[in-house]
Structure formats: C-alpha cells, structure tokens
A and B are shown apart, each in its own frame.
Chain A
Amino acid sequence: MLEMEALQYKGFRNLKKGDETVGFQVGIRFVAYRGPWLSQFRFKYVKVDGKKFGPDVCTFTLHGVEYTYEEMLQDWHVKWNLQDVCYIHVRKPGGLASGNHRVQVVFWEVASYLPPFLDDMRMNQDDIPEDPSNTREMIIV
C-alpha cells in the first residue's frame, strides 16, 4: 500500500547481487500538488546517518524502468504521478547495517510557474535542512 509520506518504509532494504550486498534502496513519492515529468525531477542526495550519496552512485527505478539521473533529466515523456513510487538504488558495497537509520532524501520538482532562483538556491546549497517532509527514521531488518 502507498504510504502518504515522501519516504516509504516499504521497500527500504539492502540490495544483493548473487551473494554480495551491493547497496540499498529507498522508495520515494511526490507529496505535492502534482507529480512531475521525469525531466522536472531534481535530486541532490540520499543521506543515511549523516553520510551522503549523490546522483553518481544512484539509479532510479520507476514503473519498472531503471534510469540514471542524467537519463531522467532528458526524459520528458514519462510522467511520475502522485501514486507512483520511485525506488532509488544506492551503490554501497556491504549495504546498510541492520537496525535504525535516519534517512533523508533531497529532491524536488521544477515547473514553468516556479521562479528559477528557487531551483538554483537549492542546487547551490550544500546541506538541505532535515525536516519531516524529507527525513524519516527507518529500519533495515
């Protein structure tokens, strides 16, 4: 079932390739007036317990299709609707330890009716404050 929060408990887990744990995934949805076309998606990082993972170590799976961040920025034909969860796959050998983690995902939407300076401001800001809209305590079992 879809959770109303941006960060989804469901699907937060380590990723394995054969016997090896190669990273982890976290699901996100848009809690906004509407969902974006992929090219309107902006992503800065996933932060787990203070450690950041940027677009270079992430891929994004929506509707069963895996994209790099660059591919998403180019794709203006696929719609990410409010009911859709996108799973971010983060490359991290060994994955995350079992137990509680504080997870922040910094992402937003750009739109024709929003002033571009808002976008620049976020992009140029190293740390985006944690708040309930982008951060959740979650568990790896």
Chain B
Amino acid sequence: MAEIKRGITLFSLGSLYLRGEMNLEDLIRESAAMGFEGYEIVASQMIPSYPFVSDEFVEFTKKCQEKYGIGPVCYAAQMDRGMLRDRDLTEDEMVARGIQDIISANKLGCKVMREQYLLSPGGLARLAPYAEAYDVRVGIEIHNPESPITQAVLDYVAAIEKSGSRYIGFIPDFGCFATKPNKPYWDRALQDGATEEQLERCAQLRYDEVLMDQAFAAMKDDIEKCPALAGALNSMYGFVQFRKDCRRELEGLVRIMPYCFEMHGKFHYMYEDLHEASIPYEEIMEVINHSDFKGYIVTEFEGGEEPLVQCRRHSDMLKKLIRQ
C-alpha cells in the first residue's frame, strides 16, 4: 500500500529567488501555502555555506518549520565529475564528495539525498555504509533521456542488489515518461518563426525514432530558413525526449519501486484543467498508487513563466490523482 506525500523542490521557484523577488523564507512560506508537506533543497543553490551546512542555517530551517509547518526532506547534491580541465575526478574523489554531502544532509535533518548519475554504480555502492551510518537514503536521479529500463539504470540496479543495502537506490524523474514534445520549447520555436507544421514534422521524426543526424538532415532546408527549429529539434533528442507511449518504462518503474526513495514530479507546463502538457501523470500515478511506494513526490517545475501558478496547479493535480 502506497504512502505518498507531496513535496516541492525549491528549485521550482528558483527564478523568483535568483531575481531577488523572494528570499528563501518566502519560498518556504509560499510552498506551505500551496499545500506541500516538505521541501527539497538544491544545496549548491540555496545553502550559503555549501558544501557544509552551518548551525545558523539549521536554526533558520527550524524556525521556518515552526512558522510554516514544513521542513527540508531531501538534500539535492551534485556530482561535478568534470570540474577539472585536464581530467575527470576519480571515483575516490567523488565518493569523498558524496560522503560530505551525506553528512550535510544529515545535519539538515534530511532522510533522503539526491545524487547524480555522474557517480558510477560502484561509487554509489561505496556510499552505502555512510548512508546507513547517517540514516540518509541516497537516490540516483533517473533523468530523461535515461529511464528505468535503460542500461545505465540497470547497471545501478545490479550494484544496489549486490550491495544488499536499503540505503542506496533511485529518485525517478517523471520527465523520463514523456509522451509528447516539451511545450515551452515548442512555444519558443513558434515565437521565433517556426510553424506548427514544421514542428509537427520534427516531432514525427522523434516518434518514428529516426536517428538524430538523419532527423537534422531531413529538416535541413527548414532549419536554414528558420534556425529556431534547430533548437527545438535538438531538445527532442536531448533532455526532453519523448516516445509514443511509456508502458515499458512504467513496467521498469514497477521493477525498481522497492529501491525508490522519492519521485521527482517533473513538469514543464500545467494547463488550467490540471493536465500536464507532455507527461502522462494519470498513467504514472496509476502505477504508483498501486505500488508500495512510501515517500514524497516532489513537484519540480522546469518551465518558464508563473512558477507559483504552475506549482499550485501541479499540487492540485497530485492531490486529485493520489489514492492511498
């Protein structure tokens, strides 16, 4: 039986924060007002003492919890494997970073930590004893173009199962179940002179699983006349890919569900009628409702305008779809 809570990653409201229109406390207050029960924090974005968590920051989050009723539930870490010019970080160096992040997550009171795929399956397994010692579950984010059935993710499954630890696993991002083109990119291309007909041809190439080079070749004449099409087509082969249906990916989700500590409720555009433009939430939630998933679905807005309106709609949609 699923036990699902609704959370939000404050990254969703990041544009307001970065423009100085809202401070961290404002974001927490607004999140509570939207009905979220906890928040995820991108540590390198909003924790001034990152990669450490200062006593002052802990105190601040506790005060906010008293005032608004919600606190941090997930520490979103990053793995900057490519931070040096001449070489990648070694696995030892990355594991050391991961351990520091676990300690910081624990200090902040988070029971879950988001880790990135740049840490190898072997590196993740090495974090398990530290995750257990600090009582922080470390989940690799499964982000489009990866999905629960791609080889990279299956390699993590093997490492997790071999470790026997319940403290390493996944945070699937719903973007990997997309069945339609990303609406913000589509709209931007329209604004920049592309036509619906041209974009539909691009989308069809993606649906037909035409290879990227061939798709660009097929659209060459159109791209020459309208360079904005290149960006839209590129995105369809990048981090916002989509396919006709996500049945197999959802079957994969069922298989890895025992290792899922949190879900990223990724979205790019919510219509007023509480439907997401390209990600089939109804189908996804059907699977999760019927699973034993226990944890937060964390609203993650990665679109453009009106983040507060968009996140409110997303929260309302989840409320409607969660059955437990």
Contact with A along B171-193 (1 / 0, CB 8 A): 00000000000000000000000
Flag whether B42 is at the interface (Cβ < 8 A): yes
Give the docked Cα–Cα distance between A4 and B50 (Å). 20
Partner of A34, one of B44, B79, B84, B89: B44
Stretch at the interface among A35-43, A48-56, A88-96, A97-105: A35-43
Partner of A112, one of B14, B49, B50, B79: B79
Interface residues of A, CB < 8 Å — how many? 18
Flag whether A83 is at the interface (Cβ < 8 A): yes
Cβ of A7 to closest chain B Cβ, rounded Å: 15
Flag whether B18 is at the interface (Cβ < 8 A): yes
- Find chain A residues with CB under 8 A from B19 CB: 4
Stretch at the interface among A8-16, A19-27, A73-81, A131-139: A73-81
Contact with A along B110-145 (1 / 0, CB 8 A): 000000101000000000000000000000000000
Give the docked Cα–Cα distance between A83 and B89 (Å). 26
Partner of A110, one of B49, B82, B89: B82
Q: Please tell me if the beta carbons of B85 and A111 are within 8 angstroms of each other in the complex.
A: no
- Find chain A residues with CB under 8 A from B116 CB: 112
Partner of A81, one of B50, B78, B89: B50
Q: Please tell me if the beta carbons of B18 and A39 are within 8 angstroms of each other in the complex.
A: no
- Find chain B residues with CB under 8 A from A112 CB: 79-83, 116, 118
Residues of A109-123 at the interface with B, using a CB-CB cut-off of 8 Å, are 110-112
Flag whether B51 is at the interface (Cβ < 8 A): yes
Q: Please tell me if the beta carbons of A37 and B45 are within 8 angstroms of each other in the complex.
A: no
Flag whether B304 is at the interface (Cβ < 8 A): no
Contact with A along B59-86 (1 / 0, CB 8 A): 0000000000000000000111111110
Partner of A83, one of B14, B48, B82: B48
Q: Find the A residue at minimum CB distance from B44.
A: A34
Give the docked Cα–Cα distance between A76 and B81 (Å). 11
Q: Find the B residue at minimum CB distance from A42.
A: B85
Give the docked Cα–Cα distance between A4 and B18 (Å). 8
- Find chain A residues with CB under 8 A from B50 CB: 79, 81
Flag whether B164 is at the interface (Cβ < 8 A): no
Q: Please tell me if the beta carbons of B18 and A81 are within 8 angstroms of each other in the complex.
A: no
Flag whether A140 is at the interface (Cβ < 8 A): no
- Find chain A residues with CB under 8 A from B47 CB: 81
- Find chain A residues with CB under 8 A from B18 CB: 4, 31-33, 82
Q: Please tell me if the beta carbons of B45 and A79 are within 8 angstroms of each other in the complex.
A: no
Give the docked Cα–Cα distance between A5 and B18 (Å). 10
Q: Please tell me if the beta carbons of B51 and A111 are within 8 angstroms of each other in the complex.
A: no
Q: Please tell me if the beta carbons of B44 and A35 are within 8 angstroms of each other in the complex.
A: yes
Residues of B1-52 at the interface with A, using a CB-CB cut-off of 8 Å, are 14, 18-20, 42, 44-45, 47-51
Cβ of A1 to closest chain B Cβ, rounded Å: 10
- Find chain B residues with CB under 8 A from A37 CB: 80, 83
- Find chain A residues with CB under 8 A from B118 CB: 112
Cβ of A113 to closest chain B Cβ, rounded Å: 8
Q: Find the A residue at minimum CB distance from B85.
A: A73
Cβ of A140 to closest chain B Cβ, rounded Å: 26
- Find chain A residues with CB under 8 A from B20 CB: 4
Partner of A111, one of B49, B82, B84: B82
Q: Find the B residue at minimum CB distance from A112.
A: B82
- A sample of 15 inter-chain contacts (CB < 8 A) reads A4-B19, A4-B20, A35-B44, A37-B80, A37-B83, A39-B83, A39-B85, A76-B83, A76-B89, A79-B50, A82-B45, A111-B83, A112-B79, A112-B82, A112-B83
Lowest 4 A-B CB distances belong to which pairs? A112-B82, A4-B20, A34-B44, A34-B45
Binding site for A on B (CB under 8 A): 14, 18-20, 42, 44-45, 47-51, 78-85, 89, 116, 118
Binding site for B on A (CB under 8 A): 4, 31-35, 37, 39-40, 73, 76, 79, 81-83, 110-112
Given contacts A76-B83, A81-B44, A82-B45, 9 further A-B contacts (CB under 8 A): A39-B83, A40-B83, A76-B84, A82-B18, A83-B48, A110-B82, A110-B83, A111-B80, A111-B83
